[in-house]
A and B are shown apart, each in its own frame.
Chain A
Amino acid sequence: MKSTPSHVRKPETPLLAGLPGPWTAIAVALVLAIYPLIMSSLGEEFYISVGSRVLILALAASALNLALGYGGMISLGHAAFLGAGGYGVAILAKYGVIAAWVAIPAAVGLAAFAALVIGVISLRTRGVYFIMITLAFAQLFYYLAVSLPEFGGDDGLPLSSRSAIPGLSLESDLAFYYFVLFTAGLAFVLLYRLVASRFGRALVAIRENERRMAAIGYPVFRLKLMAFVLSGGLAGLAGALLANLSLGVTPHTLTWHQSGLLMVMVIIGGSGYFWGGITGAAIFLLLEETISTQTEHWNLILGVLLLFIVLVAPNGVMSLRERIIAARRPPSPAHAKAASEENAR
């Protein structure tokens, strides 16, 4: 067994690496707010719902990033929470509850509860066992969704209409985009506050050295469980929005392939960087959108790309900025050597 904690970056990583400055956040929010107006003036209505999709998966990937990147918990089962959120909304809608302020919190609660149950059991295990047990739980949810006729079996559950807000119709793509932007925006603010708080720093410290944090007296298990539940709940929010976007939910949302793709998004962007999940989801979906119109072998290209990223830039796109800054610095020989070794790894 390797002696170093295997899933983490170098220990000298500053705790607040990759936290956004306020101006970046404001600029991003402005661009996202103007984006659908530009698209609709260009007559490209289709890209508005693409934008909603990017935002939703950015939220899902950021939720996973909280557990994976900040907490060092390699969960290969986050599709379960995405699905729990989606099925939560769809089942409530089936029984006539479509008010957004009931359905969406209920869906988030369901996902968070699932994360609590899974977390309590899974967090007792380490390393590979944790990866496998989260995967097994997600499979459990998948089989449950496929087998119960009340959940629509293989076909999933359709949603007859989007969740309702009094005085505002979400049926148009534009209105729904702004609803997603508002909800996801709140979630991102929450995530930022979490990551920048004492809790977030303790979480990163646990990732770096769990034993030492336990020795100092931090309740390691409880903090990890909290992070896992929050991560699951936010993924559930993304799932609820996703079901609203595609007007239905299918068991496909729960497959381990989906969990893998979420992980891929986090890694493309950079795990443990605040913008990692968002950048990763955006890059992933835009690549998928452009490449799959050119060729049907998108998965082959994705595979090669992913292999390349893992072998060459394992810390993702967001780490490139630090690398470029490091490369510009007047090179001391030792420094340059360390950097080239880092590249070679």
Chain B
Amino acid sequence: MFYLIIEQALNGLQYGLMLFLLAAGLTLVFGIMDLINLAHGSLYMIGAFLAAAFYQAFQSFFPALLLAIIATALIGAILERVLYRRLQRMSHLSQVLATFALILIANETIKIIFGAQPLMIGMPASLSGPLELVSDELYYPAYRMLIIVVGLAVALGLHLLVNRTRIGMWMRAGASNPEMAAVMGVRIKPLFTFVFALGAALCALAGALLGPLLAVSVGMGESILIPAFEVIVIGGIGSMRGALVGSLLVGMIDTLGRLLLTVGLKLVVDSATAATLGPTLASMMVSVLMVCVLFFRPQGLFPARG
């Protein structure tokens, strides 16, 4: 039981870090550009599909991953230039509707190009085995471990980028007051394009990494978008630290909560009901957490602006 909890905690960490990859992009785009991007999940889907397509072409995982990230970043940059720059000046309502439209367009286009069947990405062979963490007691899939390591590395990298580099300084300046930053000589437009492309690249990274674990299918963007939004709202929109804390909270609650609720419910009701009720209650708990956070702190846990 103890090792089961450890294993689920690792799964929660892995899910949370993948959520972080999406939430980081969302929170950057919102914080710096004041833009709600419902279509962020679509970039994740596009990244995963591109990775699957490149994988089928090269039969090799890492080149496919890299190419998918570059291609999705390009798509993101083009979208920012063509559409989001215009949306940025419009109301939040228009942004919601336009990006909702983008979701519809992206889903249908992917369906036309790749068909309705889910695609598969093969794991790199060297990582498909289990990793022995505690001898004979706790095994954990090496590939999931890789995801955790990559996620942590990206979190560290983003932290360094935002807090230690000149671009990061511009980003923080843009987030706290874009007009002032522009007046002070930050070239705000290329910065926006960069931020958007970075967000898209992170989406593609998450999509491609999760490809071998999940089926790459058309609805995948929406199923991760809502948790990602809940993460940034819990953490405080625009705050990178909030996004990290929020994603780990949500990941843990979703995964560990699923296990503990199912086990706990078995004490109360019969096991079949518990098995169906547990996972859904866990999904609800994330929403409940968000509602509680917003009730007591309407700006999220780490408000980015005063």
List residues of A whose CB falls within 8 A of some B CB.
1-2, 6-8, 68, 74, 76, 121, 124-129, 131-133, 135-137, 139-140, 143-144, 146-147, 149, 153, 256-257, 260, 263-264, 267, 271, 297, 299-300, 302-307, 309-311, 314, 345
Contact = CB atoms under 8 A, between A and B. Distances in A.
B159 interface: no
Given A6-B91, A126-B298, A129-B298, 20 more contacts: A1-B34, A1-B305, A7-B91, A8-B91, A121-B294, A124-B298, A128-B92, A128-B237, A133-B291, A143-B284, A147-B281, A147-B284, A256-B226, A271-B93, A299-B107, A300-B109, A303-B104, A307-B83, A307-B98, A311-B98
A267 B226 CA distance: 23
A76 B96 contact: yes
A94 B111 CA distance: 39
B281 A129 contact: no
Interface of B: 30, 34, 36, 83, 86-87, 89-94, 96-98, 100-105, 107-109, 111-112, 222, 226, 229-230, 233, 237, 273, 276-277, 280-281, 283-284, 287-288, 290-291, 294-295, 298-300, 305
**Which one of B89, B92, B104, B281 has the highest number of Cβ atoms from chain A below 10 Å of its Cβ?**
B104
A299 B108 contact: yes
Contacts of B294: 121, 124-125, 129, 133
A147 B276 contact: yes
Given A129-B298, A132-B229, A297-B108, A303 B102 contact: yes
A7 B284 CA distance: 30
B86 A306 contact: no
A304 B100 CA distance: 11
9 contacts: A74-B93, A128-B36, A133-B290, A136-B226, A140-B287, A299-B104, A303-B101, A304-B105, A314-B91
B285 to A, nearest CB: 10
Taking chain B's interface residues, is the majority helix, strand, or loop, or is none over half, making it mixed?
helix
Nearest to B305: A1
A307 B281 CA distance: 36
Contacts, number: 137
Contact of B273 (A68, A74, A149): A149
Given A140-B287, A303-B102, A6 B92 contact: yes
Nearest to A147: B280
B102 A147 contact: no
Contacts of A304: 101, 105
A307 B105 contact: yes
Contacts of B101: 302-307, 310
A196 B125 CA distance: 69
Contacts of B102: 303, 307
A8 B97 CA distance: 15
**Which one of A127, A128, A256 has the highest number of Cβ atoms from chain B below 10 Å of its Cβ?**
A128
A130 to B, nearest CB: 9
A209 to B, nearest CB: 16
Nearest to B36: A128
Contacts of B103: 303
B230 A314 contact: no
